[in-house]
Amino acid sequence: MADLTEASAVPALAVTAAVGAVVLLLVLLCSVWKKDTKDQKEDSGENQVSKVKTEPVKQEKNSKKLKLNIRSKKPQQVQVTHPWLASTLKGNSSAVLGIDFSPNGKYLITTAEDRCVMLWSTKDFNQKEHKFIKGIVELDHGTQVKFSPDTKAFIISLANENALRVYRIGKKDDGSPGNITSAFDFPKVHQADIIRIGIASNGKYIMSCGSDTTIIIWTIKGEVLESIDTHQMNNSFACVSPCGRFVASSGFTPDVKVWEVCFNKNGSYSDTKRAFELKGHTAGVYSFSFNNDSSRMASVSKDGTWKYWDTNVRYEMNQDPYLLHTGNISYSGHCLIALSPDGRTVTVGGENSITFFNAVSCKEEESVDNIHLGGLVDLSFDTTNKYLVTAGDRYVHVFHNVTGYQATVEDLLEKEKKASSTAMRDRVRQQISDARSSLDSILGQSNGHVNNK
Ligand SMILES: *[C@@H]1O[C@H](CO)[C@@H](O)[C@H](O)[C@H]1NC(C)=O
Ligand SMILES: *[C@@H]1O[C@H](CO)[C@@H](O)[C@H](O)[C@H]1NC(C)=O
Ligand SMILES: *[C@@H]1O[C@H](CO)[C@@H](O)[C@H](O)[C@H]1NC(C)=O
Ligand SMILES: *[C@@H]1O[C@H](CO)[C@@H](O)[C@H](O)[C@H]1NC(C)=O
Ligand SMILES: *[C@@H]1O[C@H](CO)[C@@H](O)[C@H](O)[C@H]1NC(C)=O
């Protein structure tokens, strides 16, 4: 379609331009002729020169207009161009609803409304072409997706069935992922829509969270271990911490509740008990996120702020998490938050934009607007801290974690000041220069990438 409009637009505009040029020429000639009749014996050479001069100028203006018109007619879809953008994964024909990185960092899995589950290789993120392996969800579609710890399987929550389904990922001869086949369904237990799911990294349990106040803890075979009532009026978000120890939820009430899922020494399930809470927001909490060892958390609330917490506390002794700082957000409506595994970067997503903050200094680093026309549905850092991925509409955008590199440089500059020996200082200086050159190469590389488009 775009080509068609372009083809028809060119002649039409060219005709307009040509007519315009002829009219102009006539006007010009007219005035020249008038001038000539006034000062009869002027040298016509000068007039000729000026005529020659004006024409190319007009033509240049016209051709510029032409190009601009074509360009403004063409893009119907969002073309996100930002120096931090590493790539955009395309392939879905309708909205992407859920994303997850494999624990080994090698793959990203996405689930979409078009019934497709796609497995992408993170190795390709810097390339222009992105290959994927596709699985189809028969007679339904997945709303959320999570990898098993060994990356040999994944679970999805089914939209219509409102239950969990397990899929196996086959292996090709070279060891790379092959066929995606469905294995079995969990029993249908949730009354309200399942909004979030999780798998513990220790492989001991699975979590599913409904939009009412229910969270179910399951064995990996699909037996119910526990049903938790969050007492949060309506759940808005829940997850399993990356360390596998905790399940947490937020909702209409202004807190985040964190439970520890406990197992006996012989491996049998013991119980799920309250660990700690994040208290300090003044309205419902939309979303929250853990760093890789659960020593830090970040939360975002309807009260217009995000908060950064030190959760490395002895909760068994009733110690509460410490609030490290509070930042403001400019988005209205539902927001999502992601904390990088190393705890250095916070990204808040709202409306159809994202903002990166340095988690340690609370400083706003960068914001990228209008990335998903249909609104942002999910965002996540990869396990290596290198990328932040956002999903919405039909696309998945992969951003470089530039804030992370900058935060690393800042940390190192502090270390350099405190260095007690020359050897140590030299080592830190080397690290600073490494981080800076990585930064330069990312920014240089992706700038080139954008300009090439
Ligand atoms: C809260 O959950 C109940 C039970 O699922 C549901 O009927 C209700 O619409 C939800 N309210 C909101 C505001 O999401
Ligand atoms: C595991 O240990 C718990 C308590 O320590 C006990 O109640 C349970 O019966 C044991 N289970 C098995 C299968 O040994
Ligand atoms: C957030 O906004 C409040 C009120 O406008 C202001 O007092 C506070 O300094 C802001 N905080 C930051 C980190 O910008
Ligand atoms: C968490 O990330 C830090 C920094 O990247 C790393 O040093 C540490 O080993 C990670 N810890 C866990 C439990 O994965
Ligand atoms: C960003 O990536 C670099 C390189 O992988 C890593 O050292 C740094 O910790 C990351 N930072 C964040 C906040 O993810």
Does the Cβ of 284 fall within 6 Å of ligand 1? no
Kindly tell me if the per-residue pLDDT of 214 is higher than 90: yes
Kindly tell me if the per-residue pLDDT of 114 is higher than 70: yes
Distance CA 256, CA 345 (A): 20
Q: Are strands 345-350 and 335-339 parallel, antiparallel or unpaired?
A: antiparallel
Does the Cβ of 385 fall within 6 Å of ligand 5? yes
Asked if residues 346 and 308 have their Cβ atoms less than 8 Å apart, the reply is: yes
Copy the structure tokens of residue 232: 């949060």
Q: Which long-range contacts (CB under 8 A, 24 or more apart) does 271-277 make?
A: 271/226, 272/217, 272/225, 272/226, 272/228, 272/247, 275/246, 275/315, 276/311, 276/313, 276/315, 276/319, 276/320, 276/321, 277/320, 277/321
Three-state helix/strand/coil letters over the chain: CHHHHHHHHHHHHHHHHHHHHHHHHHHHHHHHHHHHHHCCCCCHHHHHHHHHHHHHHHHHHHHHHHHHHHHHHCCCCCCCCCCCEEEEECCCCCCEEEEEECCCCCEEEEEECCCEEEEEEHHHHHCCCCCEEEEECCCCCEEEEEECCCCCEEEEEECCCCCEEEEEEEECCCCCEEEEEEEEECCCCCCCCEEEEEECCCCCCEEEEECCCEEEEECCCCCEEEEEECCCCCEEEEEECCCCCEEEEEECCCEEEEEEEEECCCCCEEEEEEEEEEECCCCCEEEEEECCCCCEEEEEECCCEEEEEECCCCHHHCCCCEEEEEEECCCCCCEEEEECCCCCEEEEEECCEEEEEECCCCCEEEEECCCCCCCEEEEEECCCCCEEEEEECCEEEEEECHHHHHHHHHHHHHHHHHCCCHHHHHHHHHHHHHHHHHHHHHHHHHHHHHHHC
Q: What is the pLDDT of residue 334?
A: 94
Distance 209 CA to ligand 1 centre (A): 13
Which ligand ends up closest to the CA of 401? 5
Region 403-417 average pLDDT: 82
pLDDT-derived band at 360 (thresholds 50, 70, 90) equals: confident
Kindly tell me if the per-residue pLDDT of 47 is higher than 80: no
Residue owning the nearest CA to atom 13 of ligand 1:
234
Kindly tell me if the per-residue pLDDT of 22 is higher than 70: no
Distance CA 185, CA 410 (A): 48
Does the Cβ of 212 fall within 6 Å of ligand 1? yes
Residue owning the nearest CA to atom 10 of ligand 3:
328
Q: What is the pLDDT of residue 77?
A: 56
In this structure, which amino acid lies at residue 107?
Answer: Y
Region 317-325 average pLDDT: 95
Distance 262 CA to ligand 2 centre (A): 13
Report CA torsion sign: 277, 278, 281, 287. Answer: negative
- Average pLDDT value for the chain: 82
Residue owning the nearest CA to atom 4 of ligand 1:
212
Kindly tell me if the per-residue pLDDT of 137 is higher than 80: yes
Asked if residues 230 and 213 have their Cβ atoms less than 8 Å apart, the reply is: yes
Which ligand ends up closest to the CA of 267? 2
Q: What is the pLDDT of residue 451?
A: 30
Write down the pTM of the prediction. Answer: 0.78
Lowest mean pLDDT among 79-88, 106-115, 234-243, 307-316: 79-88
Kindly tell me if the per-residue pLDDT of 362 is higher than 50: yes
